[in-house]
Structure 1
Amino acid sequence: MKRRTDNSENGGEMTLSGHLTELRNRIIVIIVVLVAAMLVGLHYAEVIITALLDIGRSKGYQFVYLAPQEMLIQYFSLSLIFAALIGLPIIFYEAYAFMSPGLRHREKIFMMLAIIFGIIFGFLGILFAYKILIPFMLYFLLDMSKGVNVSAAISVGNYVSFLMTIFIIFAVLFEFPVVSVLLSQLGIIKVEWMRKARKVMIVLIFLMAAIVTPPDIVSQVMVALPMLLLYEFSIILCTVFGIFKKNEKKTEDEEEDDTEDEDLSPEGTTN
Structure 2
Amino acid sequence: MAKKNINEMSFLDHLEDLRWHLIKITLAIVIVATLAFVFSRFIFEDIIFAPLDMSFPTYKYLCDVATYLSVDTSFCSDKIPLILQNRTMAGQFSADIWTAILAGFVISFPYVVYQLWKFVSPGLHSNERKHSRGFIVISSLLFFMGALFGYYVITPLSINFLANYSISSRVDNQIDISSFIGLVRSSVLASGIVFELPIIIYFLTKIGIVTPEFLKKYRKYSLVVVLILSAIITPPDIASQVIVAIPILVLYEVSIIISKVVVRNQKRKEKKHV
The CA deviation at 1:86 is 2.7
The CA deviation at 1:40 is 1.1
Q: 1:181 to 1:69 in 2, by over 3 A?
A: same
Identity among equivalent pairs (%): 24
Partner Cα distance (2:101, 2:218) in 1? 39
Amino acid in structure 1 at the alignment position of 2:211: K
Contact 2:86-2:177 at 8 Å conserved across structures:
yes
Match of 2:103? Answer: 82
The CA deviation at 1:249 is 1.6
Match of 2:222? Answer: 201
Residue 52 (str. 1) matches residue 48 (str. 2): yes
Instruction: Provide the secondary structure at the position in 1 that maps to 2:84.
Output: strand
Partner Cα distance (2:122, 2:202) in 1? 23
Higher gyration radius (CA): 1
TM-score (norm 1): 0.74
Amino acid in structure 2 at the alignment position of 1:242: V
- The C-alpha deviation readout for 1:188-227, integer Å capped at 9, x for no partner, is 122112112223333553565567357565x454322211
Contact 1:118-1:175 at 8 Å conserved across structures:
yes
Match of 2:6? Answer: 3
Contact 2:81-2:164 at 8 Å conserved across structures:
no
Contact 1:136-1:214 at 8 Å conserved across structures:
no
Instruction: Provide the secondary structure at the position in 1 that maps to 2:175.
Output: strand
Instruction: Provide the secondary structure at the position in 1 that maps to 2:6.
Output: coil
Contact 2:113-2:136 at 8 Å conserved across structures:
yes
The CA deviation at 1:30 is 4.3
Number of residue pairs matched by the alignment: 240
Matches within 5 A, 1:245-260: 245-253=266-274
Question: Could you tell me which of 22, 31, 34 is aligned with 2:29?
Answer: 34
Partner Cα distance (2:230, 2:30) in 1? 38
Compare 237-246 and 103-112 and name the one that shifted more: 103-112
Q: Please, which runs of 5 or more residues in structure 1 have no aligned partner?
A: 7-15, 254-271
Partner Cα distance (1:99, 1:78) in 2? 30
Partner Cα distance (2:27, 2:248) in 1? 36
Q: 1:79 to 1:104 in 2, by over 3 A?
A: same
The CA deviation at 1:234 is 0.8
Residue 145 (str. 1) matches residue 163 (str. 2): no
Matches within 5 A, 1:18-33: 30=25, 32-33=27-28
Contact 2:211-2:263 at 8 Å conserved across structures:
no
Partner Cα distance (2:24, 2:229) in 1? 41
Matches within 5 A, 1:94-113: 94-97=115-118, 100-101=121-122, 103-109=124-130, 112-113=133-134
RMSD, aligned α-carbons? 3.2
Partner Cα distance (2:231, 2:169) in 1? 22
Partner Cα distance (1:207, 1:102) in 2? 37
Partner Cα distance (2:24, 2:230) in 1? 42
Matches within 5 A, 1:153-168: 153-168=174-189
The CA deviation at 1:85 is 2.1
Contact 1:96-1:112 at 8 Å conserved across structures:
no
TM-score (norm 2): 0.73
Match of 1:268? Answer: none
The CA deviation at 1:116 is 3.3
The CA deviation at 1:166 is 2.5
